[in-house]
Amino acid sequence: MHVKRIRVVQDVLDANTTIARANRQDFDRAGVSVVNFMSSPGSGKTALLEKVVPLLEERLGIGVLEGDVQGQLDADRLARFHLAISQINTDPGFGGECRLDANMVRSALPSLPLEQLDLLIVENVGNLVCPAEFRIGEDVRVMVASVTEGEDKPLKYPLMFRTADLVLINKIDLLPHLDFDLKKLERALDAVHPGVQRMYVSARTGQGIPEWAEWLFALTRERIEAELIVG
């Protein structure tokens, strides 16, 4: 029973890897840098996008793919920006799938003007477990950890933190009101992903958002430079 289960899981992941690779090829062809954007529910992913997009929308063609179990609340919040937005709902799965996978992203690609985009941000379902397991064809993984969630999350959800390329430590404006030890979080981060890049940000006050915007901008420039060298 256990062996059979592992085989089924392996098949699912193999199929996902194949489709993720096809997505990757489409993104490369269109010259789009793709961010898989992940966190717990309510860590502030959408609020951070509301802050960072205005710093980039005049310089980059930006697309957002919203992944939610149900509804399109986040897409509605982003509708006022100069963005291509598409919504994926995962609720046709039982109770709702807990993450996006490569195939869901692939199904949504025709609804996005890939050729006009430089940057595609895929806002995954709020969850610290399942989304980490499924590559979607992304260039990088950016995750948000809110200081309100406690210092121990990297130790409790290691795969998510281990596979992140950048950790945004959000709601930093609330620190004076919390019993929270930043050093403990730093130690936990380094225990599961030594030296992983991190930025302290606040979607509320805007702290750290310009630095994150430059990081995203640099991501798209790296791609263009690599294309110039190759092509």
- Site for a copy of itself, rule CB under 8 A: 6, 8-10, 13, 40-43, 68-71, 73, 93-98, 125-130, 132-133, 146, 148-150, 152-153, 155-159, 171, 173-174, 177-179, 204
Cβ of residue 187: shortest distance to a copy of itself, in angstroms? 13
| Comparison of 15 and 224: residue with beta carbon closer to a copy of itself | 15
First to last CA, the chain: 51
Give me the amino acid identity at 68.
D
Buried b (16+ CB within 10 A) or exposed e, 171-192: bbeeeeeeebeeeebeebbeeb
Smallest gap from Cβ 52 to a copy of itself, in A, equals: 18
Q: Between 31 and 158, name the residue whose CB sits nearer to a copy of itself.
A: 158
Closer residue to a copy of itself, CB minimum distance, 148 or 207: 148
Q: How many residues does the chain have?
A: 231
Residue number, 30 or 159, with CB nearest to a copy of itself = 159
Rounded CA separation 52/116 (Å): 19
Nearest CA to 120 out of 32, 51, 40, 190 is that of 32
Smaller CB separation from a copy of itself, 58 or 179: 179
Q: How far is the CB of 135 from a copy of itself (least distance, A)?
A: 12
Report, in Å, the least distance between residue 78 CB and a copy of itself: 14
Report CA-CA distances (Å) from 94 to 73, 125, 167. 21, 15, 31
Minimum distance from CB of 223 to a copy of itself (Å)?
A: 28
Question: Distance (Å, rounded) from C-alpha 33 to C-alpha 67?
Answer: 18
The dihedral built from the CA positions of residue 145, 147, 148 and 152, taken in this order, carries a sign that is positive
Residue 155 CB neighbours (<10 A): 13
* Cα distances (Å, whole numbers) of residue 165 to 81, 133, 139: 26, 15, 9
Task: Spell out the SS3 assignment of 27-57.
Answer: HHHHCCEEEEEEECCCCCHHHHHHHHHHHHC
Residue placing its CB nearer to a copy of itself in the complex, 32 or 209? 209
Taking the least distance from each CB to a copy of itself, the nearer of 99 and 223 is 99
CB of 28 to a copy of itself, least distance (A): 26
